[in-house]
Amino acid sequence: MTSLPIAKRKVSVVVPTRDRPKLLREALASIRALEGEDLTFEILIGDNGKDPGSKTAAEEFGATHLPVVRNGAGAARNAGLKAATGDFIAFLDDDDVWTKDAVRGQVAVLDANPNLEACFAQVMSTDQELRPASEPWPAESPGEGDQLVRTMLSGYYPQIGATVVRPQVRKDVGLFDETLLGDQDWDWQLRIARRRKTGFSKTLCVMFRQRPPGTFDALRLMRLGFTRKVFLRHAVPERKLWTGLDKLLAAYTKVHWQYYGYFTDAAVDRARAGERSAARRAVWGAFRTFPLRATFHLLSNTALHYAFFATFAADGVPPPPPEVTPDAFRK
């Protein structure tokens, strides 16, 4: 008996890039490494940078290079999203790489559930050399329907490189919001999740590079406003998910806690290094995140108190009290 040939599926992969051709090559190589009898990739590179090396990298890997004038990852992703012709659409940032198990698990979930429009999967955080810095996350399914939306609005960010959608999503939810220079991917994923047609594959798909600690204070401060905007944009219309205002405020706190923790740690680190202006800016970031909490911690024996007042010391920056650690702000 003759076996039937395997149906080859075409997946469009949208890769935004900006002046990082070396990292882009690693990302593209990880995509091409997954092709086989059952899977082929249409790689679409939205490029809003100026380095000609990005176009050269695209040509080396048989990808389509799409120049983009407008700044932001949203504009770069939209260029690829509009051009996609595959059976499914996937994403990968130019500084991340796919694992050997990427895509196929999500496609299998979507094939088994025709009612689903999208599928998320697991990610592993790494350092710049792709050395693991976490266990695969989320460890378990973030849920479906109301539970997924509630989980996302309580601090779960499904990494875009572990997201696969059907092409129909472009019509149903639209493109990425290009006015959001931060969290435009979370906003787009929330718009999908709120349709209650999203599944999950417990498969590690992406090695997700993290910036070195202390190297992106300004970026964090800029993104804070966009995170707040996206949260309110989706949490308020979904008020039926919260049994009371206290639950909504708790979700708000969980989403923004990452910023408060980052700025507090940054303030301590900058103060210890004698970087007074940088320490004050980090304290301001904490205050912008949670004004009342920051005020309380500035007046208490905490890391934030130490960091702020150390910047006014006359003879250098004094060491913090022994009991004050970067985690003291949680007390």
Q: Can you read off the two tokens belonging to residue 149?
A: 């939306």
Q: What percent of the chain has pLDDT over 90?
A: 80
Vertex 63: Cα angle to 60 and 66 (nearest 5): 120
| For residues 113-124, average pLDDT | 97
> Where are any strands of DSSP class E within the chain?
9-17, 39-47, 64-67, 88-91, 97-98, 118-126, 163-165, 198-209
Would you kindly state where each structural domain of the chain is located, as residue ranges? 9-209, 217-330
The CATH code that applies to domain 9-209 is 3.90.550.10
Tell me, what's the pLDDT at 318?
A: 54
Q: Can you read off the two tokens belonging to residue 148?
A: 């997924």
pLDDT tens for 248-269 read 999 999 999 999 999 998 998 8
Q: Can you read off the two tokens belonging to residue 284?
A: 């301001």
Tell me, what's the pLDDT at 7?
A: 74
Q: What percent of the chain has pLDDT over 70?
A: 92
Tell me, what's the pLDDT at 108?
A: 96
Tell me, what's the pLDDT at 312?
A: 83
Report whether pLDDT(171) > 50. Answer: yes
| For residues 173-198, average pLDDT | 97
Report whether pLDDT(98) > 50. Answer: yes
Buried-exposed string 211-230: b where 16+ CB fall within 10 A, e elsewhere: eeeeeebeebbebbebbbbb
Higher pLDDT, 212 or 249: 249
Q: In degrees rounded to 5, what are phi and psi of residue 46?
A: -90, 115
Among the ranges given (90-99, 143-152, 212-221, 270-279), the one the predictor scored with the smallest mean pLDDT: 212-221
User: Do 45 and 54 form a contact (C-beta atoms < 8 A)?
Assistant: yes
Whole-number average pLDDT of the chain: 91
- Tokens 């091409």 correspond to what residue? 32
Tell me, what's the pLDDT at 315?
A: 61
pLDDT tens for 270-296 read 888 888 899 999 999 999 999 999 999
Among the ranges given (14-23, 145-154, 159-168, 322-331), the one the predictor scored with the smallest mean pLDDT: 322-331
